[in-house]
Structure 1
Amino acid sequence: MQHFDIIIIGGGAAGFFTAINAAEFNPNLKIAILERGKEVLTKVKVSGGGRCNVTHAEFIPKELSTNYPRGEKELLGPFHSFMTGDTMEWFEKRGIQLKIEDDGRIFPVSDDSQSIINCFLQETERLKIQVLKSHAVQAFEQKNNFWEIKTSKGEFSAEKMMLATGSNPKIWNILKKLDHKIIEPVPSLFTFNIKDDRIKDLPGIATEAVVKINSKKVNLESKGPLLITHWGMSGPGILKLSAWGARDLEKLNYQFQIMVNWLPGYSSEEILDQLKELKTKFAKQQVVKNAQFDLPKRLWRSLVLASEVNEVTTWADLNKSQLQNLSEQLTEGAFHVNGKSTFKEEFVTAGGLDLKEVNFKTFESKLHKNLFLAGEILNIDAITGGFNFQNAWTGGFLAAKAMTGN
């Protein structure tokens, strides 16, 4: 049986961040990362479309915490100790230049997630942290103040153990045997499958919109960029709804109706008044070809045709019913959602270890001494934009501090 001072199970973002910080706090410690797969940091590799969305440009703890449908209250304290600015400084100190994009997302200047992976691998090598791949954990238990861990390739022991295994049902099941409560996971970030003639030929169009879930059981609304795809709708406006409504939408079996307002800030009545003015102003022009409200031309055309207006109708020819139809299509169009799709290659879940059983000053289990947890193994998840990584960095940093007595 090999012995280490600290063993970290999980070769992902939270695991590496914890190990590196722990070794920096105390270089004399013997630290190992156990990874079940043949590769490490695979989720980092695909994140942000392969660019790695490191964190988000929100520098007030209270404001940052509001981006977590699950974990908002618990992360507020930790964010006062380590958050966005600290993350940026941490990477930049290690030679990774970062940039803030217009929407607040923060990426490496290289636009390549490999630069983040290389940084982690170089640091583990420099600090002599052992990274042991293809070590699938089969069991662990605490004996005589040490954690004993059995993997597919051998047995290990450590005084302190960190679990950073993400959404791993096998590890959750072991935790259940240790009397921890696990909140059953459901998908959190996903796109909406919608088959509708109005958007059938519009993949690639993106525009600002307000989307509301039209259900008696779910009262959610979000504003943000909406992207029309081959299978339906995506983009931040949709992903916010999927995150905040994760559990409720799962109960609806992902069958529900949404209302889309393509003109945020305007009501159907206000747009109807403006359409009446346009009817006079552009009397001789064809409605289909005369896009208004800065909407993409193809989207405008589709919504006009859906309002029982044909290709050659002029503004002067629009009757009262057609004007009403068009104002409704523009501000309260109903679309039926029939299922979901994974967002890119990223899979985030709502669910995991019950937050009541964790000390968020140290990210240590309240039930078992010297058992630490960080990242998505906990019932914490966020909207898209770098927030899930920030949770991993914050948890990893505070756990490393606690494990090393700093």
Structure 2
Amino acid sequence: MNKRLIVIGGGAAGFFCAVNAARLCPQLEVLLLEKTGKLLSKVKVSGGGRCNVTHAAPDIGYMAQRYPRGQHFVKKAFGHFFVPDTINWFAERGVELKTEADGRMFPVTDSSQTIIDCLLREADLYKISILMQQEVTALQRTANGRWQVQLQHSPALDADYLCIAAGGYAQADKFNWLKATGHTIAAPAPSLFTLNMPGHPITALMGVSVPKALVKVTGSKLQEQGPLLITHWGLSGPAVLRLSAWGARELQQMQYTFTALVNWVPDYHENSLREEMQDLRHSLGGQKMYNKNPFELPQRLWQFLLQQAGIHETVRWADMPAKAQQLLVKNLVAMELPVKGKTTFKEEFVTCGGVQLTEINPATMESKLQPNLYFAGEVMDVDGITGGFNFQHAWTSGYIAAQAIAKC
């Protein structure tokens, strides 16, 4: 009798496990369950619809450092399937990837549909059965040691192997069906979100972006530098998204209410900028401050900062009052922005938390507590910053699980 693998979850990790297990072990019957009516939904929206497949990391150590949770685990896993393997896997199936200046990798078509079509073709080629609208409610061992999968609206299914690739959950109670297998769950917390500043005048600058800014959270060690985007609700951009990933648990404890300090000119600190201001007063003395922006900041932001310091549009550099200069320096290097709340970054919702990594073997993705139970993707307590890192973890863990199952 042919053995059966059931993969729970129709996202990147689930598909990658299913198609590779079926390819590596042709006699294996593979069934994929998806609880919604959509397959690969995160693949579709990732990278603004282009799908940020992976990241062109120079080595495993560099890559592992981009995971706020799970660094040691992914470091071991990447030894089995890493970025070059991902690139080759897709290339062998006619999907070429390209690298952008910041290291993010996309299909050359700039369309996530290319990745979706590739995975669906593989599923079709290896005759994987896909069942939609199938929510799993419980997992049980049968008398003969197989798994029984209880479904909400359908009869139970039996399997020899299970791979759980159900993604992250926002609420802890959603993990109850997994806890029943004896696994420990690290409590979930949102990761990759933008910061809300309701009613703050800076939101009038929505659409303004700064190529390099430093964002800090007061009362913590959290800080990130990089591109920053002002939105109609607050702050976004890579610097903020990285900050939200590294600070996921800390910011949750703060209930997303804190003060962000922004240095718009991170090449300066307060003392060096004060000295620079004195030089500018001499060198640009006769010019109007509103017209002459020496820090290469977006013009709308520069004028906003002058307004916040109480500097009128007719004021020349030489005539800037000492009090106004003090305020301008402070707002340039340490502008205080009160944060109250967060917003999910587009539809790229990521959670930290999930199945405790000490209970999973990184070389096989098999549970250390339950034989023939495997995990892949975000259901584990692993999450990366934005830039293709979460997808690489999905491909890696899905492939390793498939390889281990195919050997059984």
Taking structure 1 as the reference length, what is the TM-score of the superposition?
0.96
What pairs up with 1:167-316 in 2 under 5 angstroms?
A: 167-168=168-169, 172-195=175-198, 197-207=200-210, 208-215=212-219, 218-316=220-318
- Give the superposition deviation at 1:93: 1.1
- Give the superposition deviation at 1:46: 1.1
CA contact (8 A) 1:198 1:306 kept: no
Residues 235, 106 of structure 1: alpha-carbon distance in 2 compared, 3 angstrom cutoff: same
* Divergent runs of 4+, >6 A: none
Q: What residue identity is the alignment partner of 1:79? A: F
Residues 65, 121 of structure 1: alpha-carbon distance in 2 compared, 3 angstrom cutoff: same
For 2:150 and 2:204, the matched residues in 1 are separated by 54
Partner of 1:156: 157
Residues 197, 252 of structure 1: alpha-carbon distance in 2 compared, 3 angstrom cutoff: closer
For 1:273 and 1:98, the matched residues in 2 are separated by 48
- Give the superposition deviation at 1:283: 1.3
What pairs up with 1:363-378 in 2 under 5 angstroms?
A: 363-378=365-380
For 1:196 and 1:84, the matched residues in 2 are separated by 43
For 2:66 and 2:299, the matched residues in 1 are separated by 33
CA contact (8 A) 1:4 1:157 kept: no
CA contact (8 A) 2:2 2:28 kept: no
Identify which range, 80-89 or 223-232, moves more after superposition: 80-89
Partner of 1:109: 108
CA contact (8 A) 2:139 2:181 kept: no
Q: Secondary structure at the match of 2:86?
A: helix
Q: 1:349 aligns with which of 351, 368, 374?
A: 351
Q: Deviations over 1:206-241 (max 9, x none)?
A: 1110111111xx211111101100000001100111
For 1:39 and 1:63, the matched residues in 2 are separated by 34
- Give the superposition deviation at 1:273: 1.2
For 2:230 and 2:394, the matched residues in 1 are separated by 31
What pairs up with 1:45-84 in 2 under 5 angstroms?
A: 45-84=44-83
Q: Secondary structure at the match of 1:301?
A: helix
Tell me whether 1:325 sits opposite 2:327 in the alignment.
yes
The unaligned stretches of length 5 or more in structure 2 are none
Partner of 2:388: 386
Partner of 1:122: 121
CA contact (8 A) 2:80 2:363 kept: no
Partner of 2:362: 360
For 2:32 and 2:98, the matched residues in 1 are separated by 30
The unaligned stretches of length 5 or more in structure 1 are none
The number of residue pairs the alignment matches comes to: 403
For 1:195 and 1:38, the matched residues in 2 are separated by 35
CA contact (8 A) 1:213 1:220 kept: yes
Q: What residue identity is the alignment partner of 1:147? A: W
Q: What residue identity is the alignment partner of 1:383? A: I
- Give the superposition deviation at 1:321: 2.2
Q: Deviations over 1:247-291 (max 9, x none)?
A: 111111100011111112211111111111111111121111211
Partner of 2:41: 42
For 1:298 and 1:37, the matched residues in 2 are separated by 44
- Give the superposition deviation at 1:155: 2.3
For 1:283 and 1:197, the matched residues in 2 are separated by 32
- Give the superposition deviation at 1:362: 0.6
Partner of 2:146: 146
Q: RMSD in angstroms over aligned alpha carbons?
A: 1.6
For 1:171 and 1:4, the matched residues in 2 are separated by 29
- Give the superposition deviation at 1:194: 1.3
CA contact (8 A) 1:192 1:337 kept: yes
Tell me whether 1:397 sits opposite 2:399 in the alignment.
yes
Q: Secondary structure at the match of 1:365?
A: coil
Q: Secondary structure at the match of 2:116?
A: helix
Q: What residue identity is the alignment partner of 1:164? A: A
